[in-house]
Amino acid sequence: MNNRILFVEDDESIREMVESYLTKEGFLITTAKDGVEAVSAFFSDTFDLIILDIMMPKLDGLEVMKIIREKSTVPILIMSAKDSDTDQAHGLGLGADDYLCKPFSMVQLVARVKAQIRRATQYSHQNETEQTIYVIGDLKIDILNYFVMKENKPIKLTSKEFEILKLFVTHPNRVYTKAQIYELIWNDDYYGDENIINVHMRRLREKIENDPSNPQYIKTLWGIGYKLEGQ
């Protein structure tokens, strides 16, 4: 079955170029030229991935992402000319799974798209005979249904935050370096950019830890990486 992508971009030339290229790659593309159209399309259909520009009329991409994250953990790839570390950290912190700076090559875009969809598909087709519910301290993690509870109250994680948490809960006490986390979760080579990992780890800790600066669950091994404690 062809994967469905919602592509949101106000620049008509970029929109048409990307739509044509991804269609040739076998994806089913729905386009939107502004944030209002994007939200309408999101609530009207089901998508495997959303590619989202930030600077758009009517409703900017970050506002669109906030609305989507209230309802869904669908992978979101930001594609933006805003390329500073601060912009990227902000977008990732609000719930994006990946961030691609303009200008970009179509080969790079397709690789990012396929990596995001492949990762999401792996979780949706998980073998149901495996353990799917883990209880660690006051956390209850249902890795099959993408559901996390803390002290019996649901908490909302982005898809990448959930995948990182799943990696740790399914391999307790195993140490992962930042490079290993990036390669396993993003399905891509690690080039030493710690920003993405740092942002996602900080946001995850803010949601699951009572004191994120003194974490109970995901511990930092300085100069090495991270590991999960609590089981």
Task: Report the CATH number at residue 65.
Answer: 3.40.50.2300
Same domain, 118 and 10: yes
What is the residue range of 20's domain?
A: 4-124
**Chosen domain end from 79, 97, 124:** 124
* 122-180 pLDDT, tens digit each: 655 554 445 678 888 899 998 877 889 999 889 999 889 999 999 999 888 888 999 99
> Is residue 88 left, alpha or beta, with left meaning phi > 0 and alpha meaning psi from -120 to 50?
alpha
Say which amino acid occupies 142: D
Cross-strand partners of 3: none
pLDDT confidence of residue 1: 55
Q: Residues 38, 63: contact at Cβ < 8 Å?
A: no
> Which domain CATH number covers 164?
1.10.10.10
Same domain, 9 and 118: yes
CA nearest to 179, candidates 168, 190, 187: 190
* Total of domains in the chain: 2
Same domain, 141 and 115: no
Same domain, 160 and 119: no
Which residues of the chain, if any, have pLDDT below 70? 1, 122-131, 230-231
Q: Is 146 exposed, middle or buried (0-12, 13-18, 19+ CB in 10 A)?
A: middle
Token pair of 118 as six digits: 């492949």
The pTM of this model reads 0.58
Q: Residues 166, 143: contact at Cβ < 8 Å?
A: yes
Same domain, 9 and 119: yes
Same domain, 11 and 116: yes
Euclidean distance between CA atoms 7 and 31, whole angstroms = 5
Expressed in angstroms, the distance from the first to the final Cα of the chain is 39
**Chosen domain end from 81, 105, 124:** 124
Strand ranges in 53-205 using DSSP code E only, listed in sequence order: 76-80, 98-101, 133-136, 139-142, 147-150, 153-155
pLDDT confidence of residue 6: 96
Same domain, 94 and 165: no
**Chosen domain end from 100, 124, 148:** 124
CA 55 to centroid of chain Cα atoms: 20
